[in-house]
């Protein structure tokens, strides 16, 4: 097999500055890509099988093309240019095929169901033999958009492999990307993968993984916010596992139970995201003001709101307490219930204060790192351009 037959793609994780959960109900979210990426290798294989290797979650599966072909009649309607949503019937058929129990929502089932749904929907009538490996620098299920980075890389690789979008490796550009229309198609297919994993995603995470940078997202409308990604952030992973699907469903139940109590909270989260955008724009425009104090207050208020809607966790409270004792402000990011928190660093913060806070957080059993935000969205790579420390996982 020649190496140019193998294609590598990668997509970034994200942090949500403000708007998680409220964005599911049409409110504004501000989200930015991270310098932690998911990498995927796809290549043809010659033994009429589809092989999927997911080392982060310890899954290795293989199916005969002839078996997969029997599922195609159920997915015929999907073989259009327009991405189509997974129905409960589709998911039931795929679960039965893969041998997963009816209500299974474990890590492996969700990843495999999302792959099978995208493979059968994107690849058309002549299902190709292929071998796919996905490996990520992102912690799985920690609020950093690992499911979206996974869905974006899988959708991109399948669309490229089946020639439904171009292969950017034919271009001589430094950064191998797709055209705007193709990125839009990738984003819309990845959204279907997210539906399999999340149940009811807003689409913000797959938008950031596709387009990169800092985005304002509202009801499918994506607005890149340029030149405002200067914020310095510490990320803390509480290492408490949680599922976005369950947390999103929990907020829905609460909203149905107490609409007049929860709706104003979601509207207030919307106002926080709007105010944050305004402050970030003032910062860039050099308009005088104590912008960082406002950003810190917005973080504190939103963290209280997120507790009110039921997505907090004692481990996240601990991150907020520890950082507050060093004069720093934190909130959960992503779907909460554990997972990750962000802590804002003012440009004039004393590095020893940050160091001490990080040491205390590490003593609590949390993992802490300073991040570079605003990484590029989905990229193609040729095998010779892949860094050695990443290639060793493939």
Ligand X SMILES: Nc1ncnc2c1ncn2[C@@H]1O[C@H](COP(=O)(O)OP(=O)(O)OP(=O)(O)O)[C@@H](O)[C@H]1O
Sorted by sequence, the CB contacts under 8 Å of residue 162 that are 6+ apart come out as 122, 123, 124, 128
- First and final CA of the chain: distance in angstroms? 15
Backbone angles phi, psi at 339, to 5 degrees: 65, -140
Angle 17-234-32 from CA coordinates, rounded to 5°: 35
Q: According to the binding rule CB under 5 A, does residue 121 interact with Mg ion?
A: no
Indicate the burial class of 90 (C-beta count within 10 angstroms; 0-12, 13-18, 19 or more).
buried
Assess contact for 235 and 125: CB atoms under 8 A: no
Are 337 and 242 in contact, with CB atoms under 8 Å apart?
yes
Between 306 and 357, whose beta carbon lies closer to Mg ion? 306
Point out which span in 102-110, 201-209, 296-304, 316-324 binds ligand MEV (CB under 6 A): 201-209
Confirm or reject binding of residue 236 to ligand MEV (CB under 6 A): no
Q: Which is nearer to ligand MEV, 23 or 262 (CB)?
A: 23
Q: Choose the catalytic residue: 121, 205, 315, 330.
A: 205
By the rule CB under 5 A, 244 interacts with Mg ion: yes
Q: Angle formed by the axes of helices 291-308 and 314-324, to 10°?
A: 160
Cα angle for residues 119, 122, 126 (degrees, 5° grid): 80
Annotated active-site residue in 33, 121, 136, 147 = 147
Of the CA atoms within 13 Å of residue 144, those in its CB half-sphere come to: 27
CB of 311 to ligand X, least distance (A): 10
Near ligand MEV by CB under 6 A: residue from 168, 334, 338, 339: 334
- Rule CB under 6 A: say whether 23 interacts with ligand MEV: yes
**In terms of CB distance, is 99 or 241 closer to ligand MEV?**
241
The answer to whether residue 204 forms part of the interface with ligand MEV (CB under 6 A) is yes
131 binds, among ligand X, Mg ion, ligand MEV, none (CB under 5 to 8 A by kind): none
Among residues 12, 83, 201, 312, the one that binds ligand MEV under rule CB under 6 A: 201
d(CA 286, CA 63): 58
21 binds, among Mg ion, ligand MEV, ligand X, none (CB under 5 to 8 A by kind): ligand MEV
CB of 36 to ligand MEV, least distance (A): 14
Least Å distance between CB 212 and ligand MEV?
16
Question: Tokens 């749904």 sit at which residue?
Answer: 117
Say whether 147 is catalytic: yes
145 binds ligand MEV (CB under 6 A): yes
Check: CB of residue 126 under 8 Å from CB of residue 28: no
Q: Is residue 104 annotated as a catalytic residue, yes or no?
A: no
- For residue 27, state whether it binds ligand MEV (rule: CB under 6 A): no
Q: Which residues have a catalytic role annotated?
A: 147, 205
């Amino acid at each position: 097999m020649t190496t140019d037959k193998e294609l590598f793609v990668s997509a970034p994780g994200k942090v949500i500055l403000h708007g998680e959960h409220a964005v599911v109900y049409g409110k504004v979210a501000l989200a930015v890509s991270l310098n932690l990426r998911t990498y995927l290798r796809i290549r043809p294989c010659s033994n009429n099988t589809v092989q999927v290797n997911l080392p982060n979650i310890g899954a290795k599966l293989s199916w005969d093309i002839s078996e997969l072909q029997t599922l195609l009649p159920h997915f015929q309607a999907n073989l259009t240019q327009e991405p189509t949503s997974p129905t409960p019937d589709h998911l039931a058929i795929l679960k039965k095929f893969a041998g997963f129990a009816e209500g299974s929502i474990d890590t492996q089932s969700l990843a495999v169901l999302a792959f099978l749904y995208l493979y059968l929907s994107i690849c058309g009538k002549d299902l190709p033999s292929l071998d796919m490996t996905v490996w990520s620098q992102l912690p799985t299920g920690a609020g950093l958009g690992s499911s979206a980075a996974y869905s974006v890389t899988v959708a991109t690789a399948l669309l490229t492999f089946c020639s439904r979008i171009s292969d950017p490796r034919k271009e001589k550009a430094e950064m191998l990307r797709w055209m705007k229309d193709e990125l839009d198609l990738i984003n819309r297919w990845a959204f279907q993968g997210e539906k399999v994993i999340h149940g009811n995603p807003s689409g913000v995470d797959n938008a950031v993984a596709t387009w990169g940078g800092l985005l304002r997202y509202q009801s499918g409308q994506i607005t890149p916010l340029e030149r405002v990604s200067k914020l310095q952030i510490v990320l803390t992973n509480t290492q408490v596992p949680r599922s976005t699907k369950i947390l999103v469903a929990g907020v829905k139940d609460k909203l149905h139970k107490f609409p007049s109590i929860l709706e104003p909270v979601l509207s207030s989260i919307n106002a926080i995201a709007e105010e944050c955008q305004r402050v970030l724009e003032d910062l860039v425009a050099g308009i005088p003001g104590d912008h960082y104090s406002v950003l810190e207050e917005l973080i504190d208020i939103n963290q209280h709101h997120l507790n009110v809607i039921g997505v907090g966790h004692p481990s996240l409270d601990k991150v907020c307490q520890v950082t507050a004792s060093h004069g720093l402000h934190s909130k959960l990011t992503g779907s909460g219930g554990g997972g990750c928190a962000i802590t804002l660093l003012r440009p004039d913060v004393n590095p020893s204060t940050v160091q001490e806070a990080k040491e205390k957080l590490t003593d609590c059993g949390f993992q802490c790192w300073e991040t570079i935000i605003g990484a590029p969205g989905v990229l193609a790579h040729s095998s010779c351009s892949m860094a050695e420390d990443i290639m060793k996982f493939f």
